[in-house]
Amino acid sequence: MDSFNETESCLIPMPLLLEEEKQSAALIKKIEREKTLLARHFSNYLHVNSDLSRVLVSFQGNKNESGYRWFKYKEGFSFALVNYCFDKCSIRDGKILDPFAGSGATLFAASRRGLNTVGIELLPIGCEVINARKYALANTKTIVGHIKKWLAEKPWKNRELKRTKFNHLRITKGAFPEKTEMMLERCLAALAGMRDAAGKSVLRLALLSILEETSYTRKDGQYLRWDYRSGRTNGGKKFDKGEIKEFEAAITIKLHQILDDLNGENDLFATNHESQAAGNIEVLRGSCLEIMPKLNTNSFSAIMTSPPYCNRYDYTRTYALELAMQGMGEEGIRSLRQQMLSCTVENKPKDNLGDYYSESLLNDVQSIFKSQNLLCAICDYLDDLKEQDLLNNPGIARMVRNYFFEMIPTMMEAHRVLKADAPFIMVNDNVQYAGIGIPVDLILSKIAEDIGFRVETIWVLPTGKGNSSQQMGNHGRQELRKCVYVWRASKGKSASL
């Protein structure tokens, strides 16, 4: 691994009104100065890691892997990355925590090594994916029988089944061709009549996994993009998503895929050693902000996770079809969005943190936040642009501030529940707003130090991520680092920390 010594520059055009140029220029100068100081502080810890690629540090690394390919959870990382990090950090025993469990890559990869795991996940789709895999682990033969029965009986063609209505949200109405929705509703009716929880869970997952490919929609970070054949517009731009799969073809391929994985010798559920039992997987549904304070101190040997990025992605919109099928209503969507770590422009400040944390801890959170010179300078600059109506969305300033504020108690709780010298491994992306590159890796690592972690390394992927097309048009191309951080909990820390 080569040392990473590049100091980030911040070349920011200033299309500002003359009377406000001095104030804005001073804020930009402060950002540049603080960014340089922070880059120097961590210069010995930033290392380009040629072992890592964007495929490995993303869901793409799972797309051909047995068990992991059942559902396309694009925001996750690969199980191969978990194995790499566990090997590099010598994680061989104890209990593992993932406070943003997603579809469970950390949980299942660790379980395969014989390690017990706990995952916290707020999104219902993540919980359903994990639970279906757990059922498959314990009830393989039963589930194989149910899949073969569906392939033989084809319930989607059974006209005698009284269809179970797909309860659309406002943003999903008209998402399917009429024939597709009819066949989907017959399958939902068939599921409603099933008593075996294991078979029902895996067959539901099969349906959930084909919603996007059989619909007129495509996930696109902040929203669903609609194909022109739907009759809905995308701001006047014609979007062609390509092939829209027929329902029968899609469900048949998916059922055979799951069947092949369950019958395979080198599947998701095999442990690394024949004599080794798979570790237990526990899933806690809800927000890590609420759940982590309830976990025991010094109880975990490692944490590996990837929180939502500070990139405006709205999971309640990108997974709207899945949430609708899971019975989520409009009020539930709004509540779910607000419970998420602040990563969308619609997130409001979380006024209920006092329900989970002591006044003393929240005072510490405030002190740590205010001591982050670069972060505060960035927030001041975004607030300045907001006042001048120069942000493409005024909610960006609030989102960035709240994202880092909410990460602080999450990281404090992580330090508390970890054993001494245990690793905290995080995958995250740097972001850019209004021409400002925000080094999330350096800001979070400084916060980690202030909490009591020791920064061991910040692995930098050889190839970074470009900023958005809109950002490039306004500010030019700026490659953003994509990193994996490794921090260690304090040695000899006490239960009082």
Q: Give the tokens for residue 128.
A: 């359903």
| Cβ atoms of 397 and 77 closer than 8 Å | no
CB distance 62 to 68 below 8 Å: yes
- Would you say residue 469 has pLDDT above 80? no
In a domain, 126, yes or no: no
Q: Identify whether the C-beta of residue 106 lies closer than 8 Å to the C-beta of residue 311.
A: no
Give dist(CA 461, CA 262) in Å, integer. 34
Please give the tally of structural domains in the chain: 1
Query: Residue 474: its pLDDT value, please?
Result: 47
* 10 occurs within a structural domain: yes
Mean predicted confidence (pLDDT) in 215-244: 87
Distances (CA, A) of 381 to 37, 203, 390: 18, 50, 11
What is the gyration radius of the CA atoms in the chain, in angstroms? Answer: 24
Q: How far apart are CA 460 and CA 45, in angstroms?
A: 10
Stretch 214-222: mean pLDDT: 90
- The answer to whether residue 174 sits within a structural domain is no
Residue 475: per-residue pLDDT: 41
Instruction: Specify the pLDDT at position 467.
Output: 40
- % of residues, the chain, pLDDT over 70: 87
Q: What's the confidence (pLDDT) of residue 56?
A: 86
Residue 405: half-sphere exposure toward Cβ, Cα within 13 Å: 20
Q: Which amino acid is at 313?
A: Y
Could you tell me if 42 and 455 are in contact, meaning their C-beta atoms sit under 8 angstroms apart? yes
Q: Which two tokens stand for residue 358?
A: 């002591």
**pLDDT one-digit tens code per residue, 125-145:** 999 999 999 999 899 999 999
Compute CA distances 461 → 73, 236, 423, 468, whole Å.
21, 37, 20, 19
Q: Is residue 18 part of a domain?
A: yes
How far apart, in Å, are the Cα atoms of 451 and each of 57, 203, 414, 448, 455? 26, 44, 10, 5, 11
477, part of any domain: yes
Tell me how far apart the alpha carbons of residues 420 and 94 are, in angstroms, rounded to a whole number.
Answer: 12
Is residue 239, in this structure, part of any structural domain at all? no
Query: 361 lies in which domain range?
Result: 2-115+285-302+329-488
Q: Does pLDDT of 6 surpass 70?
A: no
Distance CA 388, CA 311 (A): 22
Q: What is the pLDDT of residues 370-398, one digit of tens each?
A: 999 999 999 999 999 999 999 999 999 99
Residue 367 has pLDDT above 70, yes or no: yes
Span of 280-284, 314-318, 410-414 with lowest mean pLDDT = 314-318
When the pLDDT of each residue in the chain is averaged and rounded to a whole number, the result is 89
Q: 215 lies in a domain?
A: no
- How far are the Cα atoms of 202, 293, 341, 351, 376 from residue 361, in angstroms, in the given order? 42, 11, 18, 15, 20
**390 found inside a domain:** yes
| Residue 271 predicted with pLDDT over 90 | no
The mean pLDDT value for 246-257 works out to 97
